[in-house]
Amino acid sequence: MKSVVIIGAGPAGIRAAQTLVAHGVRPILLDEAARGGGQIYRRQPANFKRSAVKLYGFEARKAKALHQTIDALREQLDYRPDTLVWNAEAGALDTLREGRAARLEFSRVIVATGATDRILPVPGWTLPGAYSLGAAQIALKFQGCAIGERVVFAGSGPLLYLVAYQYAKAGANVIAVLDSSPFSAQARALPGLLSQPSTLAKGIYYRTWLTAHGIPVHQGATLKRIDGEHRVQSLSWHNAASEHRIECDAVAFAHGLRSETQLADLLGCEFTWNPLNRAWLPQRDSAGRSSIAEVYLAGDGAGIMGADAAEMAGERAALALLEDIGYLIPPQRATQLEQSLQTIGRFRQGLERAFLFPESWATDAADDLMICRCEEVHAGDIRQVVREGHWEINRVKAHCRVGMGRCQGRMCGAAAAEIIACESQRNLSDIGRLRAQAPIKPLPFGLEVEP
């Protein structure tokens, strides 16, 4: 019998599951992680005893509420943690759990796959000790450790200040925060951020707390390179005034987040260029319906909006699914959710103005800069293919193998697109998008297939 399936047990997936269960539907909830909560509310292993306040700070109440929700739902849904969905097509998902591959047929599916860091490489980014902001956060929350003894956080976006604050609050030695966005941009964006005053206040608090505790926060600061022989030993950065050097043994960096859209692509969803996210995103209506009748989209996997919006979008997508299969849903609640999501959307626009994308990155990237570490493709390799007359991103991929490795372009795709657009002197939206290929993540050899 075909089932209703939810992919992802983060804020969107858990609220979607709760809504379906409340209406008498027993969904299958698939999650790659061992415990539900997603990245933002990632749960520590059961044998760790750190308090929620230490793990999540201001978000402790929300995190505990979400965790309690999924714990309470365990007997009312088919929850399958540690399950990777590595392929998808009309009516079926291919999964991997405990070394066994299986195919799961569905009647309807809510895709709530979340987001990952948007990486713009710098020289030395492949050295041991260099992490993304999200990876640094995983180390702290799930493994109970810091990524180094002298840590620098760099890049831009709200996550930069949040992770730096979480590390410093946990007792790690944070020696600097390098925000590539100038303070003037954040000041100009302030009116647009006032639509979510509590969220704005938390961001200001993180920034102020870091400074008050003696941690230098440099704005308009661009990470230039990471140096070291066998691991990170120092880094260089520059601002409008001069170049600087910092001795450190670890650095975490990213420029905002990018949506995980591969499964939506494999399911056949149509995509549209989204200038706010600087990315191609699957089409969805205000309720979360995609261009494919049985596919619904919720959370950051369909556009970066944050954890609060993800919870609302998960509930709204579940209500849309229920309505489409014949259930009566509360129209007032559906309207309220859509209006709240619109308000958060305006705040999101303010964030983009506050944390500017570094437009000069592709121009400044040297030819010998490694872009695709899986296939060892450098910026110069990509530029050479463009000079040969190829500028559509999948054609460039075919000629130099950028994005063909283990990550399937999840780490290098955004950076490669920026270089192609810059070298071909085209708009980023004109060069196309990397088509998803299965498996979207690496699979082990010798898989056992369930009958």
Q: Give the mean model confidence (pLDDT) for residues 353-380.
A: 96
What pLDDT was estimated at residue 451? Answer: 62
Question: Under 8 Å CB-to-CB from 61, ≥6 apart: which residues?
Answer: none
Whole-number average pLDDT of the chain: 94
In the block, residue with structure tokens 């392929």: 87
Measure the CA–CA gap between 166 and 160, rounded to whole angstroms: 10
Task: Say if CB 436 and CB 393 are below 8 A apart.
Answer: no
Task: Say if CB 243 and CB 198 are below 8 A apart.
Answer: no
Q: Give the mean model confidence (pLDDT) for residues 273-295.
A: 96
Measure the CA–CA gap between 26 and 4, rounded to whole angstroms: 8
Going by C-alpha positions, the residue among 449, 450, 448, 438 that lies closest to residue 89 is: 438
211-236 burial by CB neighbour count: b if 16+ within 10 A, else e? eeeebebbbbbbbbebbbeeebebbb
Share of the chain above pLDDT 70, in %: 99
Alpha carbon distance, N-terminus to C-terminus of the chain:
15
421-440 burial by CB neighbour count: b if 16+ within 10 A, else e? bbbbeeebbebbbbebeebb
Q: Give the mean model confidence (pLDDT) for residues 348-361.
A: 91
Q: Which tens digits make up the pLDDT trace of 417-431?
A: 999 999 999 999 999
Confidence of residue 266 (pLDDT cuts 50, 70, 90): very high
Q: Give the mean model confidence (pLDDT) for residues 20-31.
A: 97
What pLDDT was estimated at residue 45? Answer: 83
Between residues 192 and 149, the one the model is more confident about: 149
- Check whether 53 has a pLDDT greater than 90: no
Phi, psi of 195 (to 5 degrees): -70, -20
- Check whether 113 has a pLDDT greater than 80: yes
- Check whether 1 has a pLDDT greater than 70: no
Residue 42 in tokens: 């990632």
**CA angle in degrees (0–180, nearest 5) for 206-212-218:** 70
Residue 7: its H or E element: strand 3-7
Going by C-alpha positions, the residue among 2, 85, 89 that lies closest to residue 267 is: 89
Q: Which tens digits make up the pLDDT trace of 159-199?
A: 999 999 999 998 999 999 999 999 888 888 888 888 888 88
Residue 251: its H or E element: strand 250-255
- Check whether 410 has a pLDDT greater than 70: yes
Question: Under 8 Å CB-to-CB from 106, ≥6 apart: which residues?
Answer: 2, 3, 4, 5, 28, 91, 92, 93, 294
Going by C-alpha positions, the residue among 64, 83, 65, 73 that lies closest to residue 19 is: 73
Q: Give the mean model confidence (pLDDT) for residues 439-448.
A: 85
Question: Under 8 Å CB-to-CB from 402, ≥6 apart: which residues?
Answer: 371, 372, 375, 377, 381, 382, 396, 409, 412, 416
The structure's pTM equals 0.95
- Check whether 142 has a pLDDT greater than 90: no
What pLDDT was estimated at residue 416? Answer: 98
Question: Under 8 Å CB-to-CB from 172, ≥6 apart: which residues?
Answer: 140, 146, 151
- Residue 152: CA count within 13 A, CB half-sphere: 28
Q: Give the mean model confidence (pLDDT) for residues 413-418.
A: 97
Burial of 184 (0-12, 13-18, 19+ CB in 10 A): exposed
